[in-house]
Amino acid sequence: MVDLKVEIAPGLVLKNPVMTASGTFGYGREYAPYFDISRLGAIITKGLSRQPKIGNSGVRITETACGMLNAIGLENIGVERFLSDELPILQKMNATVIVNVFGNNQDDYANLAAKLDGVAGIAALEINISCPNVKAGGIQFGIDPQAAAKLVAAVRKKTSLPLITKLSPNVSDIVVIAKAVEEAGSDCISLINTLIGMAIDLERKCPILGNVTGGLSGPAIKPVALRMVYQVAQAVSIPIIGIGGIANARDALEFLLAGATAIEVGTANFINPQTSIEIVEGIEQYLDAQGYSKVTDFIASLELN
Amino acid sequence: MVDLKVEIAPGLVLKNPVMTASGTFGYGREYAPYFDISRLGAIITKGLSRQPKIGNSGVRITETACGMLNAIGLENIGVERFLSDELPILQKMNATVIVNVFGNNQDDYANLAAKLDGVAGIAALEINISCPNVKAGGIQFGIDPQAAAKLVAAVRKKTSLPLITKLSPNVSDIVVIAKAVEEAGSDCISLINTLIGMAIDLERKCPILGNVTGGLSGPAIKPVALRMVYQVAQAVSIPIIGIGGIANARDALEFLLAGATAIEVGTANFINPQTSIEIVEGIEQYLDAQGYSKVTDFIASLELN
Amino acid sequence: MYLFNSEIVNKEKLTQNIFRLRIKAANDFCRVATPGKFVMLGSDDSLFDPLLRRPFGICRWGTDWFEVIIKIVGKGSSQLSKLEKGASVAVHGPLGNGYPINKPENEQNTLILVAGGMGIASIASYLFAAFDRKQPLIGTFLLYGAANYSELILLNELTDADAFGLQLQTITDDGSCGRQGLVTQLLSHELQNNPQSQVFACGPEPMLKSVQKVLQKNECDGFLSLENRMACGFGVCLGCVQSMINEDDETSVKTAKVCTQGPVFPAQQVIF
Amino acid sequence: MYLFNSEIVNKEKLTQNIFRLRIKAANDFCRVATPGKFVMLGSDDSLFDPLLRRPFGICRWGTDWFEVIIKIVGKGSSQLSKLEKGASVAVHGPLGNGYPINKPENEQNTLILVAGGMGIASIASYLFAAFDRKQPLIGTFLLYGAANYSELILLNELTDADAFGLQLQTITDDGSCGRQGLVTQLLSHELQNNPQSQVFACGPEPMLKSVQKVLQKNECDGFLSLENRMACGFGVCLGCVQSMINEDDETSVKTAKVCTQGPVFPAQQVIF
Ligand SMILES: Cc1cc2nc3c(=O)[nH]c(=O)nc-3n(C[C@H](O)[C@H](O)[C@H](O)COP(=O)(O)OP(=O)(O)OC[C@H]3O[C@@H](n4cnc5c(N)ncnc54)[C@H](O)[C@@H]3O)c2cc1C
Ligand SMILES: Cc1cc2nc3c(=O)[nH]c(=O)nc-3n(C[C@H](O)[C@H](O)[C@H](O)COP(=O)(O)OP(=O)(O)OC[C@H]3O[C@@H](n4cnc5c(N)ncnc54)[C@H](O)[C@@H]3O)c2cc1C
Ligand SMILES: Cc1cc2nc3c(=O)[nH]c(=O)nc-3n(C[C@H](O)[C@H](O)[C@H](O)COP(=O)(O)O)c2cc1C
Ligand SMILES: Cc1cc2nc3c(=O)[nH]c(=O)nc-3n(C[C@H](O)[C@H](O)[C@H](O)COP(=O)(O)O)c2cc1C
Ligand code: FES
Ligand code: FES
């Protein structure tokens, strides 16, 4: 049996490299009827803000070719209610929990980091500096390396939790941003968040989404995600979590080859709630069949022709 | 019958808004067996350089979810042979010809512009400042607004032809680049070129493309293209040509609604060589049925809810 | 809810672009189905266009099968329409909360079912469940509107139901069957005759909006079954939310997930 | 070449994962088909996964039909495998340049056909064309290699051909049919017996490479049919190019489009 353990931050060893992407796994317990969520490497919660947010109005999702656009607008129950109502349930389920947070400004992030620091049952913090769907959803931090570094440094000061910074793909040079957040003290980088896209209703001659634009996710974006993971893996020495269009074990394995230490499953959770656990099993079977004794031997083993 | 004429640059009126994207229509005559190519708004040739280029070796194309990656490497016969061998044929066919060019540096672009200036049978110049597949394929100009502006200004000096600048989507802020090239004297902006992506062969544990990364095109990228066209349309006053995943008349109409004065059909030409002419017919039928007397009334008529 | 790959055991064309699929299901699935619940259906997991599964009401069910009625409107429904008897289909359900099926408090109260267009699939699930339980439908009205005669489906099956006491009225936009007009006109009329009625309605949003107005005007309660766009169907994407009146704090609005908290909601709570 | 939507008139399973489709075609299509040419096939233009059409050799044709033999290896081929008799299919072809079908200059020369795996579909097109023209195949060898017995297809149909004079030899990787080994071993042997032969070969790239070596060693001419990845199939994407020896200038390399200049090339020109 292949050893699937991976270390995604100093001291943070996951039982396997499969996590669930923020915003696609609710607060975790919604998946409990479908499988034992403690079997995942980790679950990453819907992005939390200091205060609850009601999100965008109008149509929030629409399907595109091999992808979907969402403009949820970071609707969430807020950090307080998460800690009181949701986290205890996840602890009871023995799930490894990574909390995703976002804010309107540096203060918000620092405050959230401080609030979550030392809370039992939280394995790590993923800061979303890349949500395209709200004006103040952190996107300004995601495209400017200086701003990103400053934010990461501020959060770093407030937390002893392993810190994952989630990057936006909507940039000219992902490597520059990745290096900046590594430098600033991020323990790990996750990428990619959604590409910014738009869909139009020809009949009604208006944008389909209430928010006009939205985040593109799903298999359509996998090639972009894979490229960015590969580029960043060449440039940084902290672990990388690959995200973007992963729908099955083969996709996940491709991201590992490209240099990701772990992966997050997003949109595919909507199609089949068991996708993430099937990916755990698929990776295990594949590596076993290939004779690997540990997944870490497989990671970043891509060969150039 | 709806009037399909559009003006994409001062004095350059096309018979309809449908063109074919560079690199997906050969030098034009390859499509002559399938329909009368003079019926298109214009055909845009494979990107030309001063000298012929042999392109990349290894696998050059691979399919992805609702898209494809290409790493052709700008293989082309060079401007001289185009002028001697291809252009006369296109003239005989009465095709409206727009020539796409690229270079390694500003000199190359200026030189190409000078050479093509005043040549009979060329309706406009499209400069590709955005090809991701060769190190010196212009990509540096495509992501830096200053460099883009300087290049456009230099080309502008060398040609009296209508000048279209083709932008890369691999940027943090497409609007800044668009404004820079407008300012620098471009008559028109075409967007988008391909997104940079990658595909991996799990069995062989290596990148599928010989060039490791390639350009992502096809329906998968349509939401990104539509968003960028919409954003740029809000910001510039020169005409915009929409490109990206257009596969049928409905797609084309969506780009027109978003603010494109014309569109280019790319990857879809590979699937069905008659796609572009079917789109001309489809646009005409749709607008006729909707009671439009001219397509320009439809362009940019998107309403926000 | 259950997650399984199943088989199409029957396929029936109802109109040019509406068809019915009977799909195999285990006992457990059928035991938890109730009128108004739905399933997410997908056809082939190895291709990604269409990507997401699509929601359809569970229209009828037996011990080891259930039926959906699907109108072809886009790529998901048209792909499902290509599946023939014997083909496999991916099923997730039963999902959501259906119509309240406890008897109306007052036995004398009438129940008015209002269906617009494909809303009939959801509304019919209530009727078929009653038929299958041999529950009499005395005092039950079905007000059914559609664009034209050919869009009115299930008429034969629902007319058979006369025996059970169901009173059916149809109305069409073009008058090709029943009265000419909108189904809410029928509703206004019936509510005047039967002011104490319970109302269940399903149909396009503009119709539900106007049903809500009629109910308000008549100070009558009712339930609306919504059909918002869904990505997941089980409460995790937040794509399907609908604004609702916040009962705890009437000055503010809250959102409800149509998939898990609905699709059936008390009419007075929904903010369109 | 022609571009049309057509109908599958027959479907036949040859092995677990190889099937044959007979597709309706107009006279004109069949008149310009020659052995070694190919078609681009697609199944449904309204869905984009798979996106591109896929190339398959035209294996046989009559007055108003042609056949392809398809091995399921990925999403395109597996989607085509789901089409049943009566389904529609999008066709573009005949494309490319096939095998030279003029008689070998010297009538006495033997013709050696070398097929590896699915390369048989292309090679068989030569044989079927000969059968259908009732052209005798005296002095024609078919050397056919595959992984194992069950991967050897068309054996019956090709054995019938014995009557025409065809000499068939099979070889498998595991020895489950014919000799054990690689088809190029058979080729080496035959070329020693018949040094003046003409050779046509189709199969996976490693096989063609080694065919090329054997031909070189025996100073023998031949033609290789390549199966590079294709996006368009008609010369506009430049995706399928293969490096070739530049005859005009032997110090430099040129590229050829496999789709329009091939797929069949003189063996000595190809640079693998
Ligand atoms: C709980 C629930 C129960 C349903 N029950 C049934 C049923 O029993 N029978 C039935 O035929 N349909 C039912 N529907 C509707 C059905 O889900 C949609 O028709 C289907 O998802 C459309 O998918 P498509 O891929 O064919 O169309 P798409 O290609 O996705 O869309 C086609 C057109 O419809 C529009 N559209 C798609 N979804 C919606 C939406 N939810 N609201 C408004 N416009 C939309 C699109 O913008 C587009 O114009 C139900 C929906 C819900 C939420
Ligand atoms: C001129 C020509 C004639 C052909 N004739 C036949 C025929 O008669 N019968 C037949 O079964 N096949 C034939 N092929 C091969 C056939 O086109 C491919 O098997 C098919 O396109 C694969 O599509 P897919 O979507 O099923 O596989 P994909 O999902 O595209 O790929 C499946 C696997 O095959 C690999 N692959 C795909 N295409 C190629 C390629 N061209 N070269 C190397 N590896 C590849 C992929 O990397 C992947 O590992 C021919 C190809 C050409 C160019
Ligand atoms: C409906 C939806 C909601 C999302 N919400 C969040 C969020 O709250 N925080 C965040 O960091 N990413 C969010 N994302 C982005 C995903 O976590 C992920 O980065 C992206 O969807 C790409 O992965 P995929 O292609 O596998 O879906 C959301 C994505 C979707 C589709
Ligand atoms: C095979 C291929 C070759 C291309 N070559 C060029 C080129 O030479 N010059 C250029 O400006 N764009 C080139 N492009 C980009 C297209 O013109 C177009 O911008 C892009 O493919 C997006 O449109 P689509 O999604 O409709 O294909 C090429 C695209 C493809 C797929
Ligand atoms: S459809 Fe996803 S939350 Fe309702
Ligand atoms: S397949 Fe496009 S040029 Fe050959």
D2-95 shares its CATH topology with D111-269: no
Domain membership of residue B247 (yes or no) is yes
CA of B74 to the centre of ligand 4 (A): 10
Looking at the CA of residue C68, tell me the nearest atom of ligand 1: 8
Of A210-214, B50-54, C57-61, D18-22, where does mean pLDDT reach its minimum? B50-54
What is the reported pLDDT for A295? 98
| Secondary structure element (H or E) that encloses residue A126, with its range | strand A124-128
What is the reported pLDDT for C40? 97
pLDDT at B134 exceeding the cut of 60: no
Measured between alpha carbons, how far is B17 from B190 in angstroms, rounded to an integer? 13
% pLDDT > 90, chain A = 88
What is the reported pLDDT for A15? 98
- Answer for the pair C259, C235: CB distance below 8 angstroms, yes or no: yes
What is the reported pLDDT for D134? 81
- Answer for the pair A58, A73: CB distance below 8 angstroms, yes or no: no
Tokens of B2: 């709806």
Q: Hey, where are the domains in chain C?
A: 2-95, 111-269
Residue-number span of the structural domain to which A35 is assigned: 6-55+73-196+216-297
User: What burial class does residue B233 get, using C-beta atoms within 10 Å of its C-beta: 0-12 exposed, 13-18 middle, 19+ buried?
Assistant: buried
More confident of the two residues B87 and D150: B87
Name which residue sits closest to atom 30 of ligand 1, judged by CA: C74
What is the reported pLDDT for D174? 87
Tokens of B276: 């572009």
CA of D229 to the centre of ligand 2 (A): 7
More confident of the two residues B305 and A128: A128
A128 lines ligand 3 (CB under 6 A): yes
Looking at the CA of residue D80, tell me the nearest atom of ligand 2: 26
Nearest CA in chain D to A220: D49
- Answer for the pair A44, A123: CB distance below 8 angstroms, yes or no: no
What is the reported pLDDT for C236? 96
Partners of C270 in the β-ladder: C244
Closest alpha carbon to B165 in B148, B145, B143:
B148
- Name the domain count of chain A: 1
What is the reported pLDDT for A131? 59
Kindly give, in sequence order, each residue whose CB lies less than 8 Å from that of residue C219, ignoring residues fewer than 6 positions away.
none
Q: Contact A230/B143, CB-based, under 8 Å? A: no
**Residue A63: which of C50, C236, C240 has the nearest Cβ?**
C50
Q: How many CB contacts within 8 angstroms connect chain B with chain D?
A: 85
CA of D95 to the centre of ligand 1 (A): 41
pLDDT at C246 exceeding the cut of 60: yes
pLDDT at B96 exceeding the cut of 50: yes
Name which residue sits closest to atom 2 of ligand 2, judged by CA: D227
Task: Tell me the pLDDT tens digit for each residue of A151-204.
Answer: 999 999 999 999 999 999 999 999 999 999 999 999 999 999 999 999 999 999
Give yes or no: A131 in active site: yes
For C158, C187, C251, the CA distances from C142, given in Å and listed in that order, are 9, 10, 36
pLDDT at C109 exceeding the cut of 80: no
Name which residue sits closest to atom 25 of ligand 2, judged by CA: D76
pLDDT at D271 exceeding the cut of 60: yes
Q: Contact C75/D49, CB-based, under 8 Å? A: no
Q: Is the peptide bond before B17 cis (omega within 30 degrees of 0)?
A: no
* Distance from the Cα of residue C32 to its chain's centroid: 17
What is the ipTM metric for this complex? 0.95
Q: Is the peptide bond before C55 cis (omega within 30 degrees of 0)?
A: no
Check CB contact of C16 with chain D, cutoff 8 Å: no
- Answer for the pair A129, A142: CB distance below 8 angstroms, yes or no: yes
CA of D233 to the centre of ligand 6 (A): 5
Instruction: HSE, CB side, 13 Å, CA atoms: give it for residue D184.
Output: 17
CA of A216 to the centre of ligand 3 (A): 9
Domain membership of residue B275 (yes or no) is yes
Mean pLDDT to the nearest integer, C172-193: 87
- Roughly what angle, to the nearest 10 degrees, separates helices D183-193 and D205-217? 20
Q: Contact B59/D234, CB-based, under 8 Å? A: no
Q: Beta-carbon neighbour count of residue C31 at 10 Å?
A: 12
pLDDT at A305 exceeding the cut of 90: no
What is the reported pLDDT for C166? 86
Q: Return residues 23-82 of C near B (CB < 8 Å).
A: 48-49
The residues on B that touch C, with CB distances below 8 Å, are: 65-66, 219
Fold of D111-269: Rossmann fold (3.40.50)
Angle formed at CA C29 by CA C27 and CA C34, multiple of 5 degrees: 115
Mean pLDDT to the nearest integer, B112-140: 80
Looking at the CA of residue A190, tell me the nearest atom of ligand 3: 19
Q: What is the number of the ligand closest to the CA of A245?
A: 3
Task: Tell me the pLDDT tens digit for each residue of C72-98.
Answer: 999 999 999 999 999 999 999 999 999
Q: What is the number of the ligand closest to the CA of C234?
A: 5
Domain membership of residue A64 (yes or no) is no
User: Token pair 């109008």 is at which residue?
Assistant: A58
% pLDDT > 70, chain B = 97
pLDDT at C211 exceeding the cut of 80: yes
Task: Tell me the pLDDT tens digit for each residue of B32-78.
Answer: 999 999 999 999 999 999 999 988 989 999 999 999 999 999 899 99
Which residues in chain D are closer than 8 Å to C47, comparing Cβ atoms? 47, 49-50, 75, 79
B103 lines ligand 4 (CB under 6 A): no
Closest alpha carbon to A210 in A102, A70, A76:
A70
Measured between alpha carbons, how far is D257 from B265 in angstroms, rounded to an integer? 22
Q: Contact A68/C51, CB-based, under 8 Å? A: yes
Task: Tell me the pLDDT tens digit for each residue of D200-221.
Answer: 999 999 999 999 999 999 888 8
Measured between alpha carbons, how far is B58 from D160 in angstroms, rounded to an integer? 41
Domain at C2-95, CATH class: mainly beta
What is the reported pLDDT for C206? 94
Closest alpha carbon to B163 in B135, B123, B215:
B123
Tokens of D62: 């009559």
Mean pLDDT to the nearest integer, C65-74: 96
Q: What is the number of the ligand closest to the CA of D205?
A: 2
CATH number, domain at B279? 3.20.20.70
Work out the pLDDT band at A128, boundaries 50, 70, 90: very high
Of A264-278, B203-217, C33-47, D52-66, where does mean pLDDT reach its minimum? C33-47
What is the reported pLDDT for C26? 85
CA of D259 to the centre of ligand 2 (A): 13
Among A63, A64, A66, most D C-beta atoms within 10 A, so best to mutate, is A66
Measured between alpha carbons, how far is B253 from B17 in angstroms, rounded to an integer? 10
A62 lines ligand 3 (CB under 6 A): no
Work out the pLDDT band at D163, boundaries 50, 70, 90: low
Name which residue sits closest to atom 12 of ligand 3, judged by CA: A22
Q: Contact D78/C46, CB-based, under 8 Å? A: yes
Mean pLDDT to the nearest integer, A249-259: 98
pLDDT at D180 exceeding the cut of 60: yes
pLDDT at D103 exceeding the cut of 60: no
What is the reported pLDDT for D62? 93
What is the reported pLDDT for A141? 77
Looking at the CA of residue D238, tell me the nearest atom of ligand 6: 3
Which residues in chain D are closer than 8 Å to B68, comparing Cβ atoms? 51-52, 231
B46 lines ligand 4 (CB under 6 A): yes
What is the reported pLDDT for D53? 97
Of A131-140, A161-170, D44-53, where does mean pLDDT reach its minimum? A131-140
What is the reported pLDDT for A137? 46
Of C45-54, C152-161, D228-237, where does mean pLDDT reach its minimum? C152-161
Domain membership of residue B205 (yes or no) is no
Chains touching chain C, criterion 3+ CB pairs below 8 Å: A, B, D
CA of B9 to the centre of ligand 5 (A): 46
Domain membership of residue B157 (yes or no) is yes
- CA quadruple D71, D72, D75, D76: dihedral, nearest 10: 30
Q: Beta-carbon neighbour count of residue A85 at 10 Å?
A: 11
Average pLDDT, chain B: 94
What is the reported pLDDT for C156? 85
What is the reported pLDDT for D102? 67
D76 lines ligand 2 (CB under 6 A): yes
Name which residue sits closest to atom 22 of ligand 3, judged by CA: A244
Domain membership of residue B85 (yes or no) is yes
* Distance from the Cα of residue D22 to its chain's centroid: 17
Tokens of D6: 């057509």
Please give the single-letter amino acid code of residue B257.
Answer: L
Strand, coil or helix: B43: strand
pLDDT at C161 exceeding the cut of 70: no
pLDDT at B13 exceeding the cut of 80: yes
Work out the pLDDT band at B9, boundaries 50, 70, 90: very high
Looking at the CA of residue A270, tell me the nearest atom of ligand 5: 2
pLDDT at B131 exceeding the cut of 70: no
Measured between alpha carbons, how far is C11 from C27 in angstroms, rounded to an integer? 21
Nearest CA in chain A to C255: A54
Q: Return residues 229-288 of A near B (CB < 8 Å).
A: 230, 245, 250, 253-254, 257-258
Kindly give, in sequence order, each residue whose CB lies less than 8 Å from that of residue B278, ignoring residues fewer than 6 positions away.
B248, B249, B272
For A11, A283, B161, the CA distances from A5, given in Å and listed in that order, are 12, 12, 61
Site to probe by mutation for ligand 4, drawn from B194, B227, B271 as the one with most ligand atoms within 8 Å of Cβ, is B194
pLDDT at C129 exceeding the cut of 70: yes
- Answer for the pair C229, A62: CB distance below 8 angstroms, yes or no: yes
Measured between alpha carbons, how far is B109 from D201 in angstroms, rounded to an integer? 46
What is the reported pLDDT for B137? 47
Among B25, B100, B270, B272, most D C-beta atoms within 10 A, so best to mutate, is B270
C71 lines ligand 1 (CB under 6 A): yes
Q: Contact A24/C236, CB-based, under 8 Å? A: yes
D153 lines ligand 2 (CB under 6 A): no
CA of D203 to the centre of ligand 2 (A): 11
What is the reported pLDDT for A139? 58
Check CB contact of C148 with chain D, cutoff 8 Å: no
CB within 6 Å of ligand 6 — which residues?
D 230-233, 235-240, 257-259
Instruction: HSE, CB side, 13 Å, CA atoms: give it for residue A235.
Output: 18
Mean pLDDT to the nearest integer, A274-280: 98
Name which residue sits closest to atom 7 of ligand 2, judged by CA: D56
Strand, coil or helix: A142: helix
User: What burial class does residue B291 get, using C-beta atoms within 10 Å of its C-beta: 0-12 exposed, 13-18 middle, 19+ buried?
Assistant: exposed
